[in-house]
Amino acid sequence: MHTSLVTSRSRGCICAALILTAAAALATIRTIPIDGATSSARPARLIGEVTEIRWDHHDNWGGVLKTADNTINFSTNSRPPFGAVEASGLLRWFGGKAYLTRMSTRYLPLPAQSESQISWLDQLRQHLRDRIDERLSPSEAGLARALVLGEGDAISSDRYSHYRSLGVLHLLAVSGMHLWCLDAILRRLLAFLPAPFKWLRLIMLALAALAAGFRPAVVRALSVLCLRDFARSRGRDCPSGSLWALALWCECLLLPPRAGNLGLVLSYSATAGLLWVNRAHPAALQTAGDGLLPRPLRLIAKATYSSLAASLATAPWLHAIHGTVEPWSVVLTPILGLLLPLRLLASWMVCTPVFHWPASTLLESLGKFEGGLLNLLDGLPGTPLVVPELEWWRLTLVCWSLLLLLGCRRKLLRRALWVSALVFSHGLWRPPASRPGVAVIPVGHGLAVVIASAHRSLIFDFGSRIIPPQELVRRRLWPLLAKQRWRAPDLLVASHGDSDHLAGLRELAKGGDARFLAAPEGSHMPIHGLSPFALRLFNAPVSAQSGGNAGGQAIVVQWANHLLLITGDQEGPALRWLAAALPDTHQLSTTLIIPHHGLSTDGLPELLDICKPIRA
C-alpha cells in the first residue's frame, strides 16, 4: 500500500510538471511582441458603433485605441446615442498603444444601426454601469465598476494612486480571488435550496464573469471552479497543483493571443506561492496560533502568512519590471481583504431594484473609512520602495529562499534555506555602483531626459501631453531605471512650467526624496555629484520681446570630448542668449536635444551656428 501511494504521487507530480511545461511553451508561442514607440502618424477615419457609455469623473487623456478588442475611448459633453459613429483624427502609435489625437466625432443615425442590434452582453453591462453611476458617488462608483465590470480605469485617480502605492491594487482588479470570494458568498446564500437548484451558483458565476468582460484572470478562476466541482461530483479530489496547471491550459486554449503583460506572471506566481505554503504550514505557526491567539486574530495571522508568501513569489517580477518593492502589501492585504467580501456583495446589490439603498449607504461608509486609512498610510516611507539599483538575481534568490522556508517542515533544509537567504541578502544592503549614462524617455508630445551617475541621478523635464503623470512615472521612468539599474532621481530640473514638461516632476516630488534645482535668472551654475559628467544649468532671462515660452532653463552635459545640450521650449531672445552664454564647443562633439518645436523656431539657426552639432 505504501509503495502504491508513493508511485501514484510520483506519477501525479510528473503529469503536473509535463502539463505545466506544455502550457508554458504554448503561452510562449502565442505571445505577441510588444510594439516599440514610434513617432509616425497618419490621418485616419474610423466608423463603428457605440457600445458602452461611461461617466468620466476625472481628467481625460485623449482617445486611446484598444487594439486587443478594437474599441476607442473618447469623451463628449453630451450623452451619445447608441448606433453608428464616425471618429476622425491623427492615428499615432506609441508604447504598444494607438492614440487617435485631434479627434472629432460625428454620429450617423442610420436605420440599420439601432440599440436592438447591440449584443445582449453589451446592453447588460451598460445597464449595470448606469445603475452604479446614478446610485453612488463618483469615487465609490469607480470602485464598484472596477469590481463588477472590471473597469479599472473608472477608479478615481487619488484612490488608484493610494492602492497602487501601498501595493494592494490587486484587491480592485477582478481576478480569481474575487470569483472565489463570490463563490463562497453564493454557496452560503443558496445553501437552503434543494440540490438540483444549487447549480444556479455556477450560472450566476458565469454571468459575473461575463459582466466582468471575461478577462483572463476570471477565465482561470471559473475554469478551476468548474473542474473542482466536476471532480467532487464524481467523488474525486483534484489536487491544487493540477488545477493550477490546467487553468493555464484553459487560458491558452480559450483566450486569443495578446501582448505579454505582467498580470499573467504575477497571478500565477502568487497562486503558486499560496499553494506552496498552504500545503504545509510550519507546525510552530499552527501551534502558536491555535493555542495563544483568539480565532479572529488567528485568521488574520494565517492571512498575513499567506500574503507574505504571495508577496515573496511576486516581488522579483515586480522589481524586474518596475524596480520597486512593496513591503506594505504584506500587512495591508489581509486588513483590506477582510472588507472585500462585503464591498463585493454590496457592489452587486446596488444594481438591484430592491437592495440598492442599504448597499449604497454601506459602500459610502466603507469608502470614507478606507479613504481615511489610505490617506494616513500613504504618507509612510516605502509606499512603494523604489530601489532599481538592487541586483535582480540576488533579490530573486533571497525571496524564493524565504518562500521555500515558509512551506518547508524539515529542520535541516530549513536551516540551509535560512543560511542561503542571509548570504544572498548581504549584497542588497550595499548594491554595486551603477553604470553612468544618459537616456531620453519616449513620452510623445513632451520631454524627459535622465542623467545617471554611479550613485545618483538627475531628470531634466518630465511630462507629456498624452500620458498622465502617474503612468509616466510607473510605466516610463521606473522600467527604464530597473533596466539600467540606475538610482531613482533625487535632482529635478524643469525647463519651464508647461504641463508637458513639469507634470511628471511634480509627481516625483510628492515622495519628498527629490528636490528641484533652478539657476538664477539670466545666469548659470554648475551641478556637482554626477561624475563623470560635468553639468551646468542655464536659465535664460525673460525679455519684453519673448513670446509664450519666455525664458526657461537648459542644461549642458559634458564628458570626455562630448557635449550634450538639452533645451526646453525656448525661442527667440532666450535661444540667442543661450548661444552667447555657452562655453567654447569647437573641440567637442556636440549633440543637441530640442523637444518638439522644430527647425522653424526663432533663434534656433543662431544656436546651430554656435554649437555645430553632429546630431540634433
Using an 8 Å Cβ cutoff, are 69 and 98 in contact? Answer: no
- Predicted local confidence at residue 547, as pLDDT: 56
Distance CA(89)–CA(105), nearest Å, equals 9
Q: Is the per-residue pLDDT at 114 higher than 60?
A: no
Q: What is the DSSP string of 278-305?
A: HHS--HHHHHHHHHHS-HHHHHHHHHHH
Q: Does the pLDDT of residue 479 top 60, yes or no?
A: yes
Of 9-18, 60-69, 139-148, 221-230, the one with minimum mean pLDDT is: 60-69
| Mean pLDDT computed over 60-79 | 54
Q: How confident is the model at residue 192 (pLDDT cuts 50, 70, 90)?
A: confident
Higher pLDDT, 162 or 296: 162
- What's the rounded mean pLDDT across residues 526-532? 92
Query: What pLDDT digit, counting tens, does each position of 535-579 carry?
Result: 999 998 876 555 556 678 999 999 888 888 888 888 778 888 888
Question: What are the two backbone dihedrals, phi and then psi, of residue 150, each rounded to the nearest 5 degrees?
Answer: 70, 25
User: Which pLDDT band, with edges at 50, 70 and 90, does 14 fall under?
Assistant: low
Q: What is the pLDDT of residue 3?
A: 35
**Looking at residue 615, what is its pLDDT?**
66
Phi, psi torsion values for 62, nearest 5 degrees: 105, 170
Q: Which percentage of the chain shows pLDDT scores above 70?
A: 73
pLDDT (0 to 100) of residue 616: 58
pLDDT score for 108:
62
In the CATH hierarchy, which fold is given to the domain comprising 437-611? Metallo-beta-lactamase; Chain A (3.60.15)
Long-range contacts of 351-359 (CB under 8 A, 24+ apart): 351/127, 351/128, 351/131, 351/132, 351/148, 356/131, 356/135
pLDDT by residue (tens digit) across 370-411?
888 888 887 777 778 889 999 999 999 999 999 999 888 888
Quick one: pLDDT at residue 360? 92
pLDDT category at 480 given cuts 50, 70, 90 is very high
For residue 83, pLDDT over 70 is answered with no
Rounded-to-integer distance, Cα 605 and Cα 551, Å: 17
Average pLDDT of every residue of the chain: 78
Summarize the confidence of residues 496-518 as an average pLDDT: 86
Residue 39 has pLDDT above 90, yes or no: no
pLDDT at residue 279 tops 60: yes
The three-state (H, E, C) secondary structure of 536-598, written as one string: EEEEECCCCCCCCCCCEEEEEEEECCEEEEECCCCCCHHHHHHHHHCCCCCCCEEEEECCCCC
Residue type, 524: H
Identify the residue whose cell numbers are 474610423: 46
Among 404-413, 488-497, 605-614, top mean pLDDT goes to 488-497
* Mean local confidence (pLDDT), 428-446: 87
pLDDT at 91 over 80: no
Beta-carbon count within 10 A of 527 CB: 19
Rounded distance, CA 488 to CA 113, Å? 52
Q: Identify the residue with better confidence: 465 or 132.
A: 132
pLDDT digits (tens, 9 = 90+) for 352-372: 888 889 999 999 999 888 888
445: number of Cβ within 10 Å: 16
Query: Who has greater pLDDT, 33 or 229?
Result: 229
